[in-house]
Structure 1
């Protein structure tokens, strides 16, 4: 996640001048406004949604969210992800033990 974030920070200013960014300028503007307004929530939810998971760090870096703020919410997102995965494994293990 942090590699994607820092790639976005590095490419941020130049990214806005690419053909892709110019073609989808309105969508990218809306995305950046959303990330600026709800950056923390998008980082946390972005980790939990598979299709969005790899794009959120890059877009967050491009939007210019400060690194300390990104790291803080990424650690929260990692904790939520790890806790949820742990609960899922324990629950499945309990179901398997009951079936035996």
Structure 2
């Protein structure tokens, strides 16, 4: 699949830059993020940077915005669902796990946002949990933007590191 994306990007360079925020959004959006590996964004960004198709800092900024938008979709989906999830059969079957997870998110709210941002397996789920637990909107946005900014700096470090490692 990554080959197809890169082939399309090569043919449509004037539009290809929009893949960066799109992939960042998809990997963080609740539901979709479970199926879109974060490696796709790293590979696409690395190829664009190595071929001098786009500025790395611009791509990092676009990735930050895309990832924060994906997080906010999850957060507001969680707020919309709210406590109705307690009635879902899967939650009732795993009641103790759910209660522990919810208690942990409530206790470590801001830290959960930061930690969740850097763990691909839960990256798209933490924002929804923050919404379900009714974490304050303004605080969520502030911590999410900070976490996404730090994550974007990590993307820059990974792409530059790979570039210097493989293309001396």
- Please say whether Structure 1 and Structure 2 have the same fold, judged by a TM-score greater than 0.5: yes
Q: What is the number of equivalent residue pairs in this alignment?
A: 98
The structural deviation recorded for 1:64 is: 1.3
Structure 2 unaligned blocks of 5 or more: 1-70
Who is 2:97 aligned against? 27
For residue 14 of structure 1, the aligned residue among 76, 79, 84 is 84
CA RMSD of aligned residues (A): 1.1
Who is 1:66 aligned against? 136
The structural deviation recorded for 1:23 is: 1.2
Q: Which stretches of structure 1, 4 residues or longer, exceed 3 Å deviation after superposition?
A: none
1:75-94 aligned at under 5 Å gives the runs 75-94=145-164
Paired with 1:24 and 1:96, the residues of 2 have a C-alpha distance of 46
Paired with 1:5 and 1:87, the residues of 2 have a C-alpha distance of 28
1:54-94: CA deviation from partner (whole Å, max 9, x where unpaired): 11111111111111111111111101110011011112222
Q: TM-score, normalised by structure 1?
A: 0.90
Structure 1 unaligned blocks of 5 or more: none
The structural deviation recorded for 1:96 is: 3.1
Tell me which protein shows more helix as a share of its residues. 1
The structural deviation recorded for 1:97 is: 3.8
